[in-house]
Amino acid sequence: MHSLELVKPDGRALTLYARGPIAPVADVPSPFREPLASQAHLRWHPLRGEWVTYAAHRQDRTFQPPPEYDPLAATVDPERPTELPAGTWDVAVFDNRFPALGGGGRAEAPSLHVPTAPAGGQCEVVVYTPERDTSLGALGLDHLELLLSVWADRTRRLGERDDVRLVFPFENRGVEAGATLHHPHGQIYAYPVVPPLPARMAAQAKEHLAEKGRGLLETMIDAERRDGVRLLYEGAHAVAFVPVCARYPYECWVAPIRPAAQFGDLDDAQRTDLARALKTVLLKYDGLWRRPMPYLMAWYQAPSDGETHPEAHLHAQFYPPYRTSERLKYLAGTELGAGFYAMDALPEDKARELQAVEVTLS
């Protein structure tokens, strides 16, 4: 993997990644001239026992821009700069101009009747490809392998920072999932604390490992492979399946079979097979109703806290917001209010639908 580190005129970092050598970049563009001055701060939610981040400058952020302007495409006209230069890059990562965390400003946290703190951490945008009219699943397997390596590189770089505890790559795909730009891209949130859900999952995994002497997700993967009925992909080193305890009708998990704590712990064979498992899920989603399936893709890995995490097992969870081709699954009272998920479909039935979608990996 080749990479080239650059700085935008407004001070934000940009890193280009490619499988081959990257040509020098003369002009690093940005749609923004003024330096970023983040005012984000954290407030403690005493009743839920969690931090909430407040970034009031985000109200102005880019929202469904007109189709002719794609801020994630390469700049063609220097008078209308985008976020990215033309060039030989395959994947690009830059600092989010509207970060919910970090951003470099020296934010004073306000004085309130709950604890507050400046919002450390970092928000990055990961542009999967220079091409706009494509999708993650349409990229070649070698491109997906590159992306897995990019996530590893970002995890390492962000994880070294004092104000980062967990690196969380994710993608909101489709307007139904809250995406505001159509160009294929994801995001990385580098959190200054381990957020509630990864913390909960780590606690569960630790307890299981201590009790059973074997990893929790590893144990679940063993069982899914034995059962077979919810499997979508089974390679030598990676699997994809609808989990037995799915909370969304078309929920899928993608994981290496042998645990890796973080992206950087994957070996070559694991990375190659994980790209195949990932592509299988993406193609099955888009093939199911022959249209792009919206989803949230969330990647869980070990915290970057200097500790070893034998309980951690890198994996992705996909949450598509549809329950049938026409009907959205709304998160409503029981889910958002009580945290208790109600499913009106069986994972086994939804897995069968996805199993029936034939895909070709290349």
C-alpha distance from residue 295 to each of 92, 148, 225 (Å): 22, 19, 24
Q: Helix (H, G, I), strand (E, B), or coil: what is residue 148?
A: helix
Q: How far is the CB of 78 from its own copies (least distance, A)?
A: 31
CB 8 within 8 A of CB 29: yes
Which of 16, 136 has the CB closer to its own copies? 136
Which of 71, 294 has the CB closer to its own copies? 294
Concerning whether 208 is annotated as a catalytic residue, the answer is: no
Which of 141, 343 has the CB closer to its own copies? 343
Q: List CB contacts of 133: < 8 A, sequence separation 6 or more.
A: none
What is the three-state SS of 212-238?
HCCCHHHHHHHHHHHHCCCEEEECCCE
Which residues is 291 bridged to in the sheet? none
Q: How far is the CB of 337 from its own copies (least distance, A)?
A: 3
- In whole angstroms, give the CA distance from residue 22 to residue 88: 6
Which of 123, 146 has the CB closer to its own copies? 123
Q: How far is the CB of 99 from its own copies (least distance, A)?
A: 9
Which of 269, 343 has the CB closer to its own copies? 343
Q: How far is the CB of 292 from its own copies (least distance, A)?
A: 17
Residue type for position 124: E
Cross-sheet strand order for the sheet of 166-173: 2-7, 13-18, 91-95, 122-127, 185-191, 166-173, 295-300, 315-319, 252-256, 238-241, 231-234
Q: DSSP string of 280-315?
A: HHHHHHHHHTTSPPPEEEEEE----SSS--TT---E
Q: List CB contacts of 305: < 8 A, sequence separation 6 or more.
A: 165, 194
> Catalytic: which of 41, 185, 208, 313?
185
Q: How far is the CB of 238 from its own copies (least distance, A)?
A: 18
Backbone phi and psi for residue 147, each to the nearest 5 degrees, phi listed first: -60, -40
Which of 10, 335 has the CB closer to its own copies? 335
Q: How far is the CB of 205 from its own copies (least distance, A)?
A: 7
Which two three-digit tokens encode residue 362? Answer: 């290349």
Task: Tell me the catalytic residues.
Answer: 185
